[in-house]
Amino acid sequence: MNTIRKAHLIVAGKLSLLVVGMFGFGYLMVPLYDIICDITGLNGKTSSVAVSAPTESNASDRLVTVEFVSVVNSSAAWTFKPVQRTMQVVPGQTYNASYEVVNLSGHPAVGQAVPSVAPSSAAKYFNKIECFCFTRQEFEAGGRKVMPLVFFIEEDLPRSIDTVTLSYTYFDTGEEPADLSDS
Amino acid sequence: MSTATADHHDHDDHHGPAPGLMRWVYTTNHKDIGTLYLLFALVMFFIGGGMALIIRAELFQPGLQIVDPLFFNSMTTMHALVMIFGVVMPAFVGLANWMIPMMIGGPDMALPRLNNWSFWIMPFAFAVLLSTLFMEGGGPAGGWTLYAPLSLQGGDNLAFVIFAIHFMGISSVMGSINIVATIFNMRAPGMTLMKMPLFVWTWLITAYLLIAVIPVLAGAVTMLLTDRYFDTSFFSAAGGGDPVMFQHIFWFFGHPEVYILILPAFGIISSIIPTFARKPLFGYASMVYATASIAFLSFIVWAHHMFTVGMPLAGEMFFMFATMMISVPTGVKVFNWIATMWRGSMTFETPMLFAIGFLVMFTIGGLSGLMLAITPADIQYHDTYFVVAHFHYVLVPGAIYSIMAATYYWIPKWTGNMYDEKWGKIHFWVSTVFLNVLFFPMHFVGLAGMPRRIPDYSMQFADWNAVATIGAFGFGFSQLIFVYVVYKCIKGGEKATTEVWEGADGLEWTVPSPAPYHTFETPPAIR
Amino acid sequence: MSIVLRWLVTAYALLFCSLSLAAIGDINMPVGVTPISKEVYGLHMMIFWICCVIGVLVFAVMFYSMFKHRKSKGAKAADFHESTVVEIIWTAVPLVILIAMAIPAAKTLIAMEDTSDADVTIKVTGYQWKWHYEYLDSEISFFSSLDADHNAARQVGSGIDVSQFDNYLKEVDNELVLPVGKKIRFLHTASDVIHSWWVPALAVKKDAIPGFINENWALIEEPGVYRGKCAELCGRDHGFMPIVVRAVPEEEYEQWVAEMSPAPMVAETSEDSAPAAADGDAEREWALAELMEKGESVYNTSCAACHQANGQGLPGAFPAIAGSPVATGPVDAHINVIYAGVSGTAMAAFANQLSDSDMAAVITYQRNAFGNTVGDLVQPSAIKALR
């Protein structure tokens, strides 16, 4: 092992470490992206964790319109609709809403709702105490469910936002439901 | 140093090339491998060009005449993959192989066996990629950007494409490691970093970019693969993923990749213009710093490819400003080249013509790039032919012209013969005329509202598309002149002198023409 | 040599002049009809002229040098190769120009993002390969796809001369009707892959991403018809999902909304997005010929893109209908495939995309066309029963 060969191997070794590191960084971008989404509300993503109800209800002096929107992904034969189209809410207070879903396909299926909020800058002020989007739903063929949502909007929602749109997209996960009688 | 290096070489390296075809399979000689890379790039240039001609033929007039829309989409996808990974990158690696050891006074590349391996992976990777076109369901048709979820919808070609991308990536990364090791360890004594020719400098920075971002691409496509076949959901909203995240990861690779395709070109132009202006390069140090700042900026502008996905205002502002900043170091480069020409004593042989063609048309592409940086305007330009015109102006008269210029510039050194100057000039002028007929009208149809990647269009775009198609066929066939000139030059011609060009400066012009199989086994003395 | 060159340059210049005269109207961005589109156009022209000035200056210096400092004219090379002052100047001057350009751009950007105080909200959903519009303030919702005549003409080897159409590939079956002078908020999302809703005259282009919602807005100042396209590659028929916006005065818009709104009673029973269910189509018995005729047109708009107009599919990508085990097998399984889709493939569930009679017709058509001779027919009532 002469010196020049050793020098080559040192350079190659260091660079190989960089290669491995950058491959890892590619994967690290997945959790990083989620963190950035949480901070900035990128894509209108809301937190997928339940929060507890606001402690003090020193009701704010203004009303915000919440619009409820539904989308059914092409992969799924469902009807999926908000029970109420809009709601006037006072930031800081807790409200109930619900969506109705029917499994139109002729077989049992598992569905998952994915929330998104517009404008995306409102996403981090939109809190869910209870939401059907936290879990998957199992349906028999033709099964129907009314699914609840309990939410509140934080009082420090910027004044420039007067309408918050909450959209759920319903996906068929393509899974077979576990034993339905259990659930 | 030379004896130490020679110790681990195969013994036949000392006597010149082995006879027969197996020479090319087993070779560890940097000149042989450089030649292989360049020939491979030339073959792929015609394959990718053929795909472009299919695209332009379909777009010659409104209505679908020739191909199915799905096949059209796989043509646009493959054209991009072939041209980026199969033409521009291998051609630059080929030039690096040939020239870097000679420019820095080293005897060969640092890791010759690795070098052989990184080349021979390429033909296999591209055989796999191109084979998807003959599979049931056809080749990949979701665009070279492979955006999820569209790319996950197609057939099993995805697995082959990802496999091919992994192998191209391994090849590029190994090639880059080799180049970095060569530049760090093989320089002749006295060849300090700030004395290296700019081609070596730009390649050093490019190699670092490649090493940093190719693994990120590998990660992104691996996630696609597991999403498609192993039930992960990185990019599927149903499983908690996000398709937009793919775009972020992809363009974190993709934007540095854009500079990988142009930085070595900057190095080539910085070698050619001083030679034919007979005057040293203006602002050598600022050229190095400008290259480094472009490389740095390339890591913080990726989301300007995604202004329509719905980013927070602050994000859009940041990426707009950062993107505009790139025009500063790029401007410095252009100004430096012009200052090099200023008060020189210029002659216009073919390499200089291509370099000037580069300078003019790359500047046009750069200016349309500045327009694209303005976010509100970009929202109108995004995904239209204006973008197509922009990146073809920076890649064809940019990257491709620099490769042509480099070939004409160095081929007397490679073959020992002068190329045919008359046909070289004809090649330049015919190419340049047709290139502008081909790409300039794309600005117009793009602004008027023609989206990218469509096989058929409304009547209002018909005239300019017909013009572009005429340009495409003209440009495509005029490249046969290039093949003719290269072939003729390899076969014979006026013997080249050692210096070749009157104003040439650099170590590669101190060895005889053609360059002997082994050069600088004893390191040269550096002035 | 130089004669050939001059000839080439002249021919080139002539070609460009004649063609640019022929199509001069269609070489720039439309000014558009919204305050934002006008601002964007202004920005575009400002940057364009700045770039032109920079270009002219740079090229002037360069070409002057190329003509003056050539060896054939006896130029002797100077020896300078750096000048700190000059280098600082040409780094600083572009920076100043950039800042001057960035300020108005940032202002427009802020205005573009302000979607508050909207009068009308439209949800736009991208499908492969059509658009679905939902007026959130009223109960109106419908699909909008490429006009049937255009669709027939654009097939490979259709033999139809496409130049006969005034707005080839820019005509749809159902136009998006919008009021003039109102702030309209668009919500963008998609049902399968990423699309992008783009109307140049409104300067609105926003990606429609499955699972997520984006917003955008426009205030149309002049009545008229504005046409656009999908801007994000979304599969085989990406080029064939146009957008047509008809902007009308407010009274006319109110009238249109009143006409389009489903009667309250029917609204409760009919599906959200299955418009034809309201006219009693689903209740009556249909004849085979009638179903076949309707089925063919539904097939051409909704199925032919993948399964091909001749029913042969594209091997490896999209299965053939002709002789397929589904289309020639048990009818219930066939209905289920159309109705509920096949998960994990590109086959969408059409329950939310087609009406009862459309679906019955197209299933009947698939079973009795392309050489398939099952002979049975599916009544719309059978589909209605599934809902």
Question: Within the 268-307 window of chain C, which residues sit less than 8 Å (CB to CB) from chain B?
Answer: none
Residues C293, C201 share a domain: no
Q: What is the pLDDT of residues C207-232, one digit of tens each?
A: 999 989 999 999 999 999 999 999 99
| Residue C98: both structure tokens together | 């950039």
pLDDT of B513 > 50? The answer is yes
Name the minimum distance, in Å, from the CA of C99 to any CA of chain A: 26
User: Does residue C16 form part of some domain?
Assistant: no
Per DSSP, the residues of B460-515 read GGHHHHHHHHHHHHHHHHHHHHHHHHHHHHHH--SBP-SS-STT--SGGGGS-SSP
Q: Which residues of B touch A172 (CB under 8 A)?
A: 238
Provide the token pair at C152.
Answer: 């027939």
Instruction: Using a CB–CB cutoff of 8 Å, tell me whether B311 touches chain A.
Output: yes
- Full domain range(s) for residue B246: 36-510
What distance in Å separates the CA atoms of residue B212 and residue B292, rounded to the nearest whole number?
Answer: 14
C345 membership: H or E segment, kind and range:
none
Among A3, A11, A16, the residue with its CB nearest the CB of B4 is: A3
CATH homologous superfamily for A44-172? Answer: Ctag/Cox11 (2.60.370.10)
Cα(B36)–Cα(C174) distance, rounded to whole angstroms?
Answer: 57
Q: Tell whether C57 is covered by a domain.
A: yes
| Poorest-pLDDT segment among A24-38, B1-15, C129-143, C284-298 | B1-15
C211 in reach of chain B (CB within 8 A): yes
Pair (C232, C330) in one structural domain:
no
Any idea what the Cα angle at residue C366 is, between residues C364 and C368, rounded to 5°?
Answer: 70
Interface size A-C, in CB pairs within 8 Å, comes to: 117
pLDDT band at C23 (very low <50, low <70, confident <90, very high): very low
Q: Decide if pLDDT at C271 tops 50.
A: no
pLDDT in tens, C55-110: 999 999 999 999 999 999 888 888 888 888 998 999 999 999 999 899 999 999 99
- Residues of B within 8 A of C22 (CB-CB) are 463
Q: Give the number of domains in chain C.
A: 3
pLDDT, average across residues C354-382? 84
> Is the confidence at residue C12, as pLDDT, over 60?
no
Residues of C in contact with B340 (CB under 8 A): 81
Domain count, chain B: 1
H-type helices in B374-420, by residue range? 375-381, 385-394, 401-415
CB A85 within 8 A of CB A68: yes
Contact C352 A169 (CB under 8 A): no
> What radius of gyration, in Å, describes the C-alpha atoms of chain A?
23
Q: Which of B37-51, B504-518, C324-338 has the lowest mean pLDDT?
A: C324-338
Lowest mean pLDDT, pick from B134-138, B190-194, B512-516: B134-138
pLDDT at C18 over 80: no
Enumerate the active-site residues of B: 79, 108, 144, 171-172, 255, 257, 259, 270, 304-305, 330, 333, 452
Model pLDDT, residue B245: 92
Q: Look at C189 and A71 and tell me if their CB atoms are within 8 Å.
A: yes
**Nearest CA-CA partner of B407 in B87, B187, B121, B149:** B87
Asked if the structure places residue C20 within a domain, the reply is: no
**CA–CA distance, C65 with C75 (Å, rounded to integer):** 10
- The candidate with the shortest Cα–Cα distance to A133, out of A147, A152, A145, A154, is A147
CA distance B6 to B14: 8
Contacts of B422 in chain C (CB under 8 A): 1
Task: Give the pLDDT confidence score for residue A55 in this predicted structure.
Answer: 66
Q: Cβ distance A82 to C139 under 8 Å?
A: no
- Of chain C, the percentage scoring pLDDT greater than 70 comes to 87
Identify the residue among C15, C24, C57, C71 best suited for mutation to test binding to B, counting B beta carbons within 10 A and taking the highest: C71
Is A29's CB within 8 Å of B252's CB?
yes
Cβ of A172 and C121 within 8 Å?
no
Does residue B2 lie in a domain region?
no
B457/C169 CB distance under 8 A:
yes
Distance from CA of B464 to the nearest CA of C (A): 8
CA proximity to B465, closest of B66, B68, B55, B71: B55
The predicted model gives A100-107 an average pLDDT of: 81
Q: How far apart are CA B332 and CA B325, in angstroms?
A: 12
Q: Using an 8 Å Cβ cutoff, are C181 and C220 in contact?
A: yes
C115 in contact with A at a CB cutoff of 8 Å? yes
Count, residues in chain B: 527
Q: Report the pLDDT value the prediction gives residue B437, as an integer from 0 to 100.
A: 95
In a domain, B527, yes or no: no
The helix/strand/coil state of A168 is strand
Indicate the DSSP class of residue C270.
S
pLDDT confidence band for C24 (50 / 70 / 90): low
- Domain interval for residue C192: 120-261
| Lowest-confidence pick of A43-52, A59-68, B383-392, C158-167 | A43-52
Contact B270, B199 (CB under 8 A): yes
Q: Are residues C172 and C296 in the same domain?
A: no
Question: Number of CB pairs < 8 Å for B and C?
Answer: 325
Which of C239, C261, C283 delimits the end of a domain? C261
What pLDDT sits at residue A38? 76
Residues found in chain A? 183
For the residues B441-458, what does the mean pLDDT come to? 94
Q: What is the complex's ipTM, to 2 decimals? A: 0.90
User: What is the 3-state secondary structure of A100-159?
Assistant: EEEECCCCCEEEEEEEEEECHHHHHHEEEEEEHHHCCEEECCCCEEEEEEEEEECCCCCC
DSSP conformation class of C376: -
Mutate to test the interface with A, among B227, B245, B249, B309 (most CBs of A within 10 A): B245
Which among B317, B370, B383 has CB closest to C106?
Answer: B317
Residue B124 has pLDDT above 70, yes or no: yes
Q: What is the pLDDT of residue A73?
A: 85
pLDDT exceeds cutoff 50 at A183: no
List of residues 6+ apart from C265 with CB closer than 8 A: none
Query: What is the mean predicted confidence (pLDDT) over A82-86?
Result: 90
pTM for this model (two decimals)? 0.89
- Whether C230 and C323 map to the same domain: the answer is no
Average pLDDT over residues B306-316: 90
Cα C145 to Cα B474, C126, C229, C238, C336, distances in angstroms: 38, 11, 11, 12, 24
Residue B4 at interface with chain A, using a CB cutoff of 8 Å: yes
Verify whether the Cβ–Cβ distance B181 to A73 is below 8 Å: no
* Count of Cβ atoms closer than 10 Å to residue B223 Cβ: 23
Which chains touch B (3+ CB pairs under 8 A)? A, C
Name the pLDDT band for C344 (thresholds 50, 70, 90): low
Q: A112 and B238 in contact by Cβ < 8 A? A: yes
What percent of chain B clears pLDDT 70, i.e. is strictly above it? 97
Residues B118 and B167: beta-carbon distance below 8 Å: no
Residue C51 three-state SS? helix
Q: Is residue B206 part of a domain?
A: yes
Q: How confident is the model at residue C260 (pLDDT cuts 50, 70, 90)?
A: confident
* Contact in structure between C155 and B64 (CB atoms under 8 Å): yes
Q: Could you tell me the strand order of the sheet in which C176-179 lies? A: C176-179, C243-248, C224-230, C195-199, C204-208
Distance CA B162, CA B224 (A): 9
Q: Do both C297 and C367 map to the same domain? A: yes
Q: What is the CATH number of the domain that holds B109?
A: 1.20.210.10
Per residue in C154-182, pLDDT tens?
A: 888 888 888 888 889 999 999 999 999 99
- How confident is residue B1, by pLDDT bands cut at 50, 70 and 90? very low
**Interface touch B279/C239, C-beta < 8 Å:** no
pLDDT value at B475 more than 60: yes
Q: Using alpha carbons, select from A135, C45, C194, C180 the residue that is nearest to residue B145.
A: C194
Angle at alpha carbon of residue C189, lines to C358 and A92, rounded to 5°: 125
Confidence band (pLDDT; 50, 70, 90) for B375? very high
* Residue B15, pLDDT score: 61
Q: What is the pLDDT of residue C81?
A: 84
d(CA C252, CA C179): 8
Q: Which residue has the tokens 């390429």?
A: B122
Contact B454/C239, CB-based, under 8 Å?
yes
CB atoms C77 and B66 under 8 Å: no
If contacts are CB pairs under 8 Å, which of residues 43-72 in chain C contact chain B?
Answer: 43-44, 47-48, 51, 54-55, 58-59, 61-62, 65-66, 69-72
Task: Answer whether A60 touches C (CB < 8 Å).
Answer: no
* pLDDT per residue as tens digits for the range B219-236: 999 999 999 998 888 998
**Residues B357, B389 contacting (CB under 8 angstroms):** no
Say which residues have a Cβ less than 8 Å from residue B413's Cβ, sequence separation at least 6. Answer: B496, B500, B508, B509, B511, B513, B514, B515
DSSP C157: T
pLDDT at B265 over 70: yes
User: Cα(C245)–Cα(C259) distance, rounded to whole angstroms?
Assistant: 18
Minimum mean pLDDT range among A32-46, B57-71, B203-217: A32-46
What SS3 state is found at C342? coil
Q: Does the residue C132 lie in any domain?
A: yes
**CA of C183 vs chain B CAs: smallest distance (Å):** 19
Tokens of B386: 């204006």
* C residues 19..38 contacting B (CB < 8 A): 19, 22-23, 26-30, 36
Least CB–CB distance from B283: residue in C59, C82, C205 = C82
Q: Is B356 exposed, middle or buried (0-12, 13-18, 19+ CB in 10 A)?
A: buried
Q: How many CB pairs under 8 A join A and B?
A: 108
State residue A181's pLDDT score: 41
DSSP string, A8-76: HHHHHHHHHHHHHHHHHHHHHHHHHHHHHHHHH-GGGPPPSS--PPPS-----S--EEEEEEEEE-TT-
Strands C204-208 and C195-199, by their bridges, are antiparallel
* Position with higher pLDDT, A53 vs B436: B436
User: What residues of A are in the B interface, CB distance below 8 Å?
Assistant: 2-5, 7-8, 11-12, 15-16, 18-27, 29-30, 33, 37, 40-45, 48, 73, 112, 114, 120-121, 169, 171-173
Chain C 132-161, residues with CB within 8 Å of chain A CB atoms: 136
* CATH code (residue C203): 2.60.40.420
Closest C-chain CA to B314: C110
